[in-house]
Structure 1
């Protein structure tokens, strides 16, 4: 029994160490980079047979050039086949200084085994924009239990602007998001998580923009 426990502890320590290293802004070589911190609160549960609602609120502490942001989003997903959910929702994103984004979302989530593949389309309405922005997102996650009540997740997401908000811009890659998550079950219906995102925003001939985003999340299930 001692060997499996020791191996579990080594895996847990290795994942925590990787997260700690990833949080260090010095790993990025591009000059245009910043560090943010997000607090996430999530409530989720079934409201009908095979139908779930998720409400999440986020406080995003960002450097002055962006301004802090708070968000509220509601999503409804329905299981339409084994391992396949379809859903959609709406969110409001308020940035310090008065900029508002209204975001409408449609998504499909496929969860074979420990993988989770999510395809998402967003219609984004910005104050003063030339037109509605259309953004396509494709995410792949891999989830793995690492100890009793502990779970690790790694993933990557590609975000592409199908129609940018500025009329003089064409389709382009918006971001790459590299993600690591460590979650712990505090109770049957309550989880806490530590998250790190490395976000890379390509900008053509200029240096890519880099965001380091450590996060804390609390999830309640009803």
Structure 2
């Protein structure tokens, strides 16, 4: 029981670290809903393919609803290390399209994992490609034969904005807690709560509260 309490304290600390930047600051807030369908399969002895599609219900002020489709191909480069890349297509209900190639490396040790991802973002009508760096840390705690909980924090940084002279925010923080259950035949389902903190240089900061539903099928 003491060991379990220490592990849960680690989960809480991880989420708290992601939330810390917005503590004590007034911010605009909204609520969204993101629903994901994920499929994962081994395409060869060494390579794994993951495809995900989502619908994200958002207020018009946040760009309206968004529909996404993304594929990632990765391989094990060393024990506990996977590297790969892929492409995503992001479309809003107002017709704005983003193409997003990415490259990533994942590191796993015990119940801790970390992912470093680089994204090249191409938007309709933008001056140039936007370059974004992402760093995520996650802790996973088994709760029984089929259940597990996890918490992760992720930092985003824009190394290059899409529009020259833009005053858009460069940084973003995310924290998430998730409960997952495995089913038969490779199916699993998860429910999560994501909070996104967006610091803005020229207006009030904003916070997004995002419940998530995730269904995954592994082949």
What band does the TM-score fall into relative to the shorter chain?
0.7 to 0.9
Does the alignment pair 1:95 with 2:92? yes
Give the 3 Å change call, closer, same or farther, for CA 172–69 of structure 1 in structure 2: closer
Give the 3 Å change call, closer, same or farther, for CA 29–123 of structure 1 in structure 2: same
- Report how far residue 217 of structure 1 moved: 0.4
- State the secondary structure of the residue aligned to 1:147: coil
Does the alignment pair 1:196 with 2:169? no
1:62 counterpart residue number: 58
- Report how far residue 192 of structure 1 moved: 0.2
- Report how far residue 91 of structure 1 moved: 0.7
Q: RMSD of aligned C-alpha atoms? A: 2.4
Query: What are the ranges of 5 or more consecutive residues in structure 1 without an aligned counterpart?
Result: 16-26
Between the two proteins, the alignment pairs up a number of residues equal to 203
Does the alignment pair 1:159 with 2:156? yes
Does the alignment pair 1:104 with 2:101? yes
TM-score of the two chains, using structure 1 as the length reference: 0.85
- Report how far residue 166 of structure 1 moved: 1.3
TM-score of the two chains, using structure 2 as the length reference: 0.86
2:144 counterpart residue number: 147
1:24 counterpart residue number: none
Alpha-carbon distance between aligned partners in 1 of 2:202 and 2:96, rounded to the nearest angstrom: 28
- Report how far residue 207 of structure 1 moved: 2.2
- Report how far residue 146 of structure 1 moved: 1.4
1:134 counterpart residue number: 131
CA contact (8 A) 1:160 1:174 kept: yes
Match of 1:124 among 121, 126, 129: 121
- State the secondary structure of the residue aligned to 1:128: coil
CA contact (8 A) 1:163 1:170 kept: no
Alpha-carbon distance between aligned partners in 2 of 1:187 and 1:28, rounded to the nearest angstrom: 45
Alpha-carbon distance between aligned partners in 2 of 1:78 and 1:103, rounded to the nearest angstrom: 20
CA contact (8 A) 1:28 1:210 kept: no
Match of 1:43 among 34, 39, 51: 39
Alpha-carbon distance between aligned partners in 1 of 2:169 and 2:26, rounded to the nearest angstrom: 20
Q: Show structure 1 runs of 4+ deviating over 2 A.
A: 27-31, 169-174, 204-207
1:68-127: CA deviation from partner (whole Å, max 9, x where unpaired): 010000100100100000000001000011100000000000001111100000000000
CA contact (8 A) 1:69 1:94 kept: yes
Alpha-carbon distance between aligned partners in 1 of 2:58 and 2:160, rounded to the nearest angstrom: 26
Alpha-carbon distance between aligned partners in 2 of 1:218 and 1:30, rounded to the nearest angstrom: 35
CA contact (8 A) 2:169 2:201 kept: no
Alpha-carbon distance between aligned partners in 2 of 1:35 and 1:169, rounded to the nearest angstrom: 26
Alpha-carbon distance between aligned partners in 1 of 2:165 and 2:198, rounded to the nearest angstrom: 19
- Report how far residue 35 of structure 1 moved: 0.3
